[in-house]
């Protein structure tokens, strides 16, 4: 089910208190319109009633698409700091729904599903686009690391994020988003061959890929924000 409930959002521009509709879960099988709204960026977005500024409260929801075999837990982009606790919580929720603590029937369904922790609206849209293109999201993150390496002065990782926004057989288009506002700062077109190279030469990338083993948060920033291990 996709249940909405009203929450108050204070406009950062004029201070007006707006009532916005927020949902704790999206069921894309029953509400394909919500999936479409996530893709076009209009989901849970509305204008301030007083000044017209666009308001979008950060995500905090679960997303289920049985037809596409996708289960995501989504939280706000700034939760990358201390993501480990959030990932634990996502794993427990997954385990109860479709994993080790679910009913045998649900567990069987869960075996063929992709479970992810996703941080921020641009990241959620990216997952939907990537999986629709049939991309391996671990390879996509490794591809981004290559893009970063090539840049003379990449935007700062704690204020920006690089997200896939579209793609085809020739190219993957990624865009730098400002974390706080989701504003697109700059788009980068990456030849699809750079992604294909990662898929075609798994041995060359095995060491890096191993760092995502068992992870729900498939996001290169986890390598940067990981808490120091004891
Ligand atoms: Zn306002």
Give the Å distance between the CA of 164 and the centre of ligand 1: 30
pLDDT of the residue at 230: 41
Least confident interval from 62-66, 163-167, 177-181, 197-201: 177-181
In this structure, what are the phi and psi dihedrals at residue 126, rounded to the nearest 5 degrees?
-60, -45
Q: Is the pLDDT of residue 82 over 80?
A: yes
Comparing 160 with 70, the larger pLDDT belongs to 70
Give the Å distance between the CA of 49 and the centre of ligand 1: 7
Give the Å distance between the CA of 22 and the centre of ligand 1: 18
β-strands 184-191, 171-178 pairing:
antiparallel
Residue carrying structure tokens 């109860």: 96
Give the Å distance between the CA of 20 and the centre of ligand 1: 13
Least confident interval from 43-47, 85-89, 128-132, 224-228: 224-228
pLDDT of the residue at 228: 64
> What does the alpha-carbon distance between residue 118 and residue 72 come to, in Å, rounded to a whole number?
7
pLDDT of the residue at 181: 84
H or E stretch covering 19: strand 17-23
**Domain coordinates of the chain in residue numbers?**
121-216
pLDDT of the residue at 86: 97
Give the Å distance between the CA of 37 and the centre of ligand 1: 22
Q: Which residues, in sequence order, are bridge partners of residue 167?
A: 172
Q: Answer yes or no: are the C-beta atoms of 69 and 113 closer than 8 Å.
A: yes
Comparing 183 with 154, the larger pLDDT belongs to 183
> What does the alpha-carbon distance between residue 45 and residue 41 come to, in Å, rounded to a whole number?
8
Average pLDDT, the chain: 93
Give the Å distance between the CA of 216 and the centre of ligand 1: 36
pLDDT of the residue at 1: 62
Instruction: Round the CA-based radius of gyration of the chain to a whole number and report it.
Output: 18
Query: Average pLDDT of 178-203?
Result: 93
Query: Average pLDDT of 192-206?
Result: 97
Q: What is the 3-class SS of 192-224, one letter each residue?
A: HHHHHHHHHCHHHHHHHHHCCCCCCCCCCHHHH
Give the Å distance between the CA of 140 and the centre of ligand 1: 37
Query: Average pLDDT of 31-36?
Result: 96
156 — pLDDT class (breaks 50, 70, 90) = confident
């Amino acid at each position: 089910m996709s249940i909405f409930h009203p929450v108050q959002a204070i406009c950062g521009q004029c201070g007006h208190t707006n009532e916005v509709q927020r949902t704790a879960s999206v069921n894309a099988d029953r509400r394909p319109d919500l999936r479409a709204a996530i893709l076009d960026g209009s989901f849970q977005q509305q204008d301030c009633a007083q000044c017209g500024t666009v308001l979008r409260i950060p995500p905090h929801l679960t997303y289920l698409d049985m037809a596409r075999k996708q289960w995501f837990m989504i939280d706000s982009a700034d939760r990358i700091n201390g993501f480990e606790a959030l990932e634990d919580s996502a794993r427990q929720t997954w385990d109860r729904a479709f994993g080790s603590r679910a009913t045998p029937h649900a567990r069987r369904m869960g075996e063929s599903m992709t479970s992810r922790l996703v941080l921020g609206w641009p990241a959620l849209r990216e997952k939907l686009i990537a999986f629709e293109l049939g991309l391996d999201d671990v390879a996509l993150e490794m591809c981004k690391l290559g893009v970063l390496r090539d840049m003379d002065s990449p935007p700062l990782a704690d204020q920006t994020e690089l997200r896939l926004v579209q793609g085809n057989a020739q190219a993957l288009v990624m865009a730098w988003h400002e974390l706080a506002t989701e504003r697109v700062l700059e788009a980068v077109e990456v030849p699809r061959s750079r992604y294909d190279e990662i898929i075609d030469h798994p041995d060359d990338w095995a060491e890096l890929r191993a760092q995502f083993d068992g992870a729900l948060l498939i996001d290169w920033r986890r390598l940067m924000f990981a808490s120091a291990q004891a």
